[in-house]
Each structure stands twice: as structure tokens, then as C-alpha cells.
Structure 1
Amino acid sequence: MSAAPAENPHDKGPLYKTWRFIREIVIIVVIALALSFVIKTFFFRAYYIPSGSMEHTLEVNDRIFANLMVPGPFELDRGDVVVFRDDLGWLPPVTESPTAFENALSFVGILPASGEQYLVKRIIGMPGDTVEYDASIDKIKINGEAIDEPYIYTGNKPSDMEFSVTVPEGKIWVMGDHRAASADSRFHTDIQGGFVDIDSVQGKASVISWPTSRWGTISSHDEVFANVPDAASN
């Protein structure tokens, strides 16, 4: 009696092939979710721009990615466009609960954490800096040095109100690029002097990811602040 031929694993029936395909898809999805979770937890997270306070650097409906490694291990600096939690209540409270779909997008990093509100502004003053608007020359001064700000919305003044502040340790002074349409540090001096806690900063806005016509990096305009003296030398 002859022996039966060995079963060829490639001759499995359609049910086996279907199961194998499903298993591969599940593994790919699990790996993708795990990688997405790691990336959005430690490296980058997506945010949506709902207002015009940062025009024309950021337009309404832009989607951006923020580098979560700023602050720490990389440091913040003047000119950085940062995303920070609304821990001080600058925005009206959220009245609608997120949907299950929005929660899922939040989990994988397409949307920020549900239930939390965020703002996006440019850092003008770091801890120890004295920031003021000098109406006589129509410029912002930092530690006595006047700066030219090419990112300001066309036709806007650097500020519509005079102010002079010294930024405390552990805080930053932030302003929107669309100065006439930004309720920034200038408008919240009744809440912690208008200063934002560095601990509230979630990351540095680095890339515009959507729409595709606006793909590109987000500049800190280091040249604007190159001649600003350190606060200690002021």
C-alpha cells in the first residue's frame, strides 16, 4: 500500500486563505495603531486651526503637526509657534461631548485629546524678558531691542494697545500673528498677568499637513530675535 502524499500547505482551501488574509490585516492594524499611539504620545500630534488669530502663518481649517519633544528634550525659544492647553480658561467652556468617532481619532493622534481645549500662538517673551509695545516707533521691544515682525498680518499694527511686562520664571508671553484678531496675552492680564505656564505647552507647531496646497514647515523667524539681548544683560 503506497503512502499518502504529504499535505501541501499551499493547497489549503478558500476558508484557510480567507482566515490568513484577515489575520494579516488584523496584525497590520494593531501594529499601525500601536505605532500611531507611540508617535502621538511621544513625538507628534495633529491639531486643527479653528480661528484666524494666527493668519497668515496659519489659516482657518489648517491641520498642523506639533513636535511634542518641545519643550524637553528640545527647548522653547522666542518666535516658536506653540500649542498649549487652555489651563487658564481663555476660551469658553466646551458644551458638546465628543463623538465615538472623534474619540477614536483622538486615540490615534489625528485629533487632540477630547475634552481639552488648546490655543496656538507665537512666543514673544521668554522667562525674564521685558516685553513692551512702544507706540512712538510702532514696534514691539524685547529687553529694550525693537524688533521687525514680518509674520504680522498685513495691515495690522504690532499691537493696538500699549503694554510693558516682565515675564516671570516658568512662564511665556504669547501673541497671535493676526494682532487685531487675537485674544492673546495682552487681553488676559487679569488671569495670571496674561502669562502662560510653560508646563501648559504641548509642543511646537512644526508642519502644516492639510490642505495639501499649504504643505510646509512653520517658521520661528529666528532672524527677528537674533539681536535681542539676554534678559540678564538688560
Structure 2
Amino acid sequence: MQRRPGRRRGIWAIVLLVLGVVLIGGAVALMVSRYTGAREFSDNMQPTIVRGDAVVLHKDPHQVRRGDVVLYDPREWGLQGPFLGRVVAVGGDRISYARGEEALKLNGQPLVEPYVKDAPGDGGVPFDVVVPQGRIFILGDNRGNSADSRFHPGRDEGTLPVSAVTGVEADQKSPLVMGIGLAVFAGLCLLPVGIGLGIAALVARRRRPVPPTGPVWGAVHVEHP
């Protein structure tokens, strides 16, 4: 039996199209289930995050650490959020600042903050806080323009519960994030190749009609003497 023209290309077209859809769909489903996005609408996190930047965050983080950029709900401060900020101290830490000092102190040691826009103490608000367990102390990287823990000392000295954090900025170089990106890229590459092979298979079938392989009804066989 003669093989139909373009049959192999047609099979590869289907395989590549299905694989491309699976890669893209799986990556998007994983992204949606584990990550969320937020956009910065203020200047409080400059220069790390500028107004208009989009940030990818882990949903429902199981752990919040010092230095994490987080999305948080400031309702305990009587504000409507969510906001982006940086965790500078966690439960059990002592965080302090006195006017004139060049750096904040974390547990008695100067806190190195290369991400801060200008001076770590911009805003001129002194504080000395021992963070209760289960709570965090949050500041903006733009200390001169950030309504953060320093300005809400009325309850638990400006700290917020860890449960107020709704997302932690994802590491763009983590294996999972890079894997998702690669899967989407691979899927986007496979789709046009599959479409091209499918078109080539259809063209081949139209150009080379398959000859009949059985008897032709109505044909008469005549034997010459």
C-alpha cells in the first residue's frame, strides 16, 4: 500500500502542536497556582522598584525573612493596601535608629542596606523596637518617602503580623521560575514549527493525489489475441 504524501510531516505537525500547547498550558497553570503579580503605584520602593514596575510574587509564603520585598495588607495601620515594602526585622529582632547615625542597627550591629535610595535614616524618625514573635517591621527603600512601620507606632510599635504578608517577591533566577520561562519559550517555538509542517503536509497531499490501490469499478479488462 502506497503511503500518502506528507503523512510523516502531518504526524510531526500534530506531535509538535500538542507538545507546544502542553508546555505553555502547564507553565501558565503552574504560574497562576503559585505566583501572583503586583504593580507599584508609589515611589516608596525606589530605586529597587520604580513607579509602574510589575513584580512577581510567591502566593501565601510559608516563610518571611529579613530583606524580603513583600506585598502586605496595612489594615492594622488604618490604611487601604496592599503595599510593597521590605522586611528589615522579624520576630525576636531588635531594630533601631537614632538621628545622626549612618545606618540602622539590627540586634546591635549596623545593618548594611545597599538597596536604600539615599540615607537609611531619611525621614528623620528615630525608633527602637523589639519585634514581637509572629510579627515583622517593614520599611520602604525610599526612606524619605515611605509611610511604613516608623510612622505607625501606636500598636505593637509599628509592626505587622506575618499574616499581613500576601506575597514575597520571587527570585527571577530560581530554578522554578527559569523552568517556567523556558517551558513557555519552548512551547512558543514549537507551535509555529508544527503549523508550518501541517501546512507543508496539506500542500504535499494536494499536489500528489494518491493513485487507486484496488479495482476501478466500471473498468473493462480486454485480452488481446
- Bucket of the pairwise TM-score, normalised by the shorter protein: 0.5 to 0.7
Q: Which residue of 1 aligns with 2:133?
A: 169
> Structure 1 residue 40: deviation in Å?
2.8
- 2:42 maps to 1:51: yes
Q: 1:124 to 1:202 in 2, by over 3 A?
A: same
Q: Distance in 1 between matches of 2:152 and 2:119?
A: 24
Q: Distance in 2 between matches of 1:129 and 1:194?
A: 14
Q: Distance in 1 between matches of 2:73 and 2:141?
A: 19
8 Å contact from structure 1 (residues 134, 162) kept in 2: yes
| Structure 2 residue ranges without an equivalent (≥5) | 1-16, 173-225
State the TM-score, normalizing by the size of structure 1: 0.58
AA matched with 1:80: D
Q: 1:39 to 1:199 in 2, by over 3 A?
A: same
Larger deviation: 182-191 or 55-64?
A: 182-191
Q: Distance in 2 between matches of 1:170 and 1:76?
A: 10
- 2:86 maps to 1:86: no
Q: Distance in 2 between matches of 1:173 and 1:181?
A: 17
Q: Which residue of 1 aligns with 2:99?
A: 135
| Structure 1 residue ranges without an equivalent (≥5) | 1-23, 93-116, 209-234
Q: Distance in 2 between matches of 1:167 and 1:134?
A: 17
SS in 1 for 2:76: coil
> Structure 1 residue 175: deviation in Å?
0.3
SS in 1 for 2:170: strand
Count of residue pairs brought into register by the alignment: 164
Alignment of 1:13-92 (within 5 A): 36=28, 39-42=31-34, 44-68=35-59, 71-72=61-62, 75-92=63-80
Percent of matched pairs sharing the same residue: 27
> Structure 1 residue 68: deviation in Å?
2.3
Q: 1:195 to 1:155 in 2, by over 3 A?
A: closer
AA matched with 1:39: M
Q: Deviations over 1:78-137 (max 9, x none)?
A: 111111123325434xxxxxxxxxxxxxxxxxxxxxxxx311111111100011003343
8 Å contact from structure 1 (residues 122, 176) kept in 2: yes
Q: Distance in 2 between matches of 1:55 and 1:40?
A: 27
8 Å contact from structure 1 (residues 85, 200) kept in 2: yes
Per chain length, whose mean CA-contact separation is higher, i.e. which structure has more relative contact order (CA < 8 Å, sep 6+)? 2
Q: Distance in 1 between matches of 2:75 and 2:165?
A: 10
SS in 2 for 1:123: strand
Q: Distance in 2 between matches of 1:187 and 1:163?
A: 10
Counterpart of 1:180 (choices 132, 140, 144) is 144
SS in 2 for 1:180: helix
